[in-house]
Structure 1
């Protein structure tokens, strides 16, 4: 059941199974909403053992839009995420970030005192030792996730290319794309072109919690940057989901959930 949480005058829509257990908080990439995690919420192994929470970023899904493009910068959304965790998640938690959400989580510079671990799938972390060129796969498709406006044919072609073996999920992303506040994507374009990120990998490692990077074997969008090699002293685990692309949680949900459960069980 969806709930509303008021953050600085903006209604944020979220889903919370609200059981008494360590929480797993799922955060969305571009064109994703709370519905994108249905395969995780429906897995009894997760729902019976963990409190599952996810929410729509401002300007996406059922959450209110913000007033200015600059308010959608990842550093601003990182502050909103920290506020949500502080006010709505009073228990220990594990943070899961898909795709662009990894940049938002990577921009968190404040402490996360109850965080037991962080999972990143399809990570696009940049800054410091990791450049944008190291992260992005070469592609003939225009970068629609960073474009304020785009025609329906181009958007459909992009998501049917980006999503493997799940046309229904691709269609969901297409619909969500046009329901998203265009300024949300404009902020991504500014973020990329202005190189206005901080050192996201170092910020992440600075939380001193175990990290799990989940790669899709055939991810067409981002390269599987081996963070364990770049930061050998950090507590980093990396795994690759066979037969998956950029959206393993929807393309190969059983294997994704296996990896998540194994990681979570070792932390609680």
Structure 2
């Protein structure tokens, strides 16, 4: 699948791909990518399938998501890029390096482990489904509906960035940049465990938020079996959205790893 993507930085610089998580898009990483690009990187920000401006598909597994990244790397003729992924995007990148060994320089996984996670987005999906796009007039209307399912204004703001207006028969109306039916149907697969038959030996960094429950100390032995050259950095005063909550500390951790 041909993914929509954005680019920031010098086209001749070292390529660095960043993949967003569930309900996200390349837009979520645009601000911080400019800071990363200033350190001498060509930052490429794809929208994963069924998200943002990339195509929609009934096929939505990590194998398919990894294939999409491989196709993008081939199309852009990238030579062993650095791979960064957050949450679901982190699992996409872990799947990619297991499917396509030897095609990347280093891996950075942000606040996700390869383990199984039970479904924990059910309320969000119900809230998004409750928004009648044909009747709402403003984003505030959508926010009022979603607030019954998601109490955090910050999370609601993030989710509602997926709303946009399109022209239908000469009339402007809201639409989603998410393929909600497929994401809802396949949400169990988003939490599936990733397994590999051969360890990934390239340099790997796991970054977690100190307040996030996604990577526990008890997860580290299993992570190291798959990624024996991995190291772990914890970012203070950060939850799951490490790069948004502590952007300077995130960039410092990333650059410290890449500069070694």
Return the TM-score normalized by structure 2: 0.75
Query: Which residue pairs with 1:132 in the alignment?
Result: 117
Closer/same/farther in 2, CA of residues 185 and 148 from structure 1, 3 Å limit: farther
Aligned to 2:166: none
Cα-to-partner distance string for 1:20-41 (whole Å, 9 max, x where unaligned): 1221100010121111112322
Quote the Cα distance in structure 2 between the aligned partners of 1:213 and 1:38: 21
Shift of 1:191: 1.4
Q: Which has the higher contact order (CA 8 A, sep 6+)?
A: 1
Q: How many residues align?
A: 233
Q: Show structure 1 runs of 4+ deviating over 6 A.
A: none
Secondary structure at 1:54's aligned position in 2?
strand
Partner Cα distance (1:206, 1:106) in 2: 11
- Structure 1's unaligned 5+ residue stretches are 1-6
Normalising by structure 1, what TM-score?
0.73
Higher radius of gyration, 1 or 2 = 2
The residue number in structure 1 matching 2:167 is none
Q: Match of 1:4?
A: none
- Uncovered stretches (5+) of structure 2, i.e. residues with no partner: 132-141, 164-175
Out of 251, 254, 257, which is 2:248 matched to?
254
| Counterpart for residue 49 of structure 2 | 58
User: How big is the alpha-carbon RMSD for the aligned residues of Structure 1 and Structure 2?
Assistant: 3.1
Does structure 1 residue 77 correspond to structure 2 residue 65?
A: yes
- Structure 1 residue 105 corresponds to structure 2 residue 85: no
Residue 3 of structure 1 aligns with which residue?
none
Q: 1:215 aligns to what?
A: 208
Which whole-Å deviations, capped at 9, do the CAs of 1:103-144 have from their partners, x for residues lacking one?
222333422433111111121422xxxx436xx8xx7x7453
Aligned residue for 1:15, secondary structure, equals: strand
Q: What do the CA deviations read for 1:192-244 (whole angstroms, capped 9, x no partner)? A: 68x5x541xx46x7332111111111126x24355543326811110111111
Would the aligned equivalents of 2:235 and 2:250 in 1 still touch at CA under 8 Å? yes
User: Structure 2 CA distance, aligned partners of 1:118 and 1:84?
Assistant: 17
Q: In the alignment, which residue of structure 2 is the partner of 1:182?
A: 180
User: Kindly tell me: are residues 170 and 146 of structure 1, through their superposed partners in 2, closer, same or farther at Cα, counting changes over 3 Å?
Assistant: closer
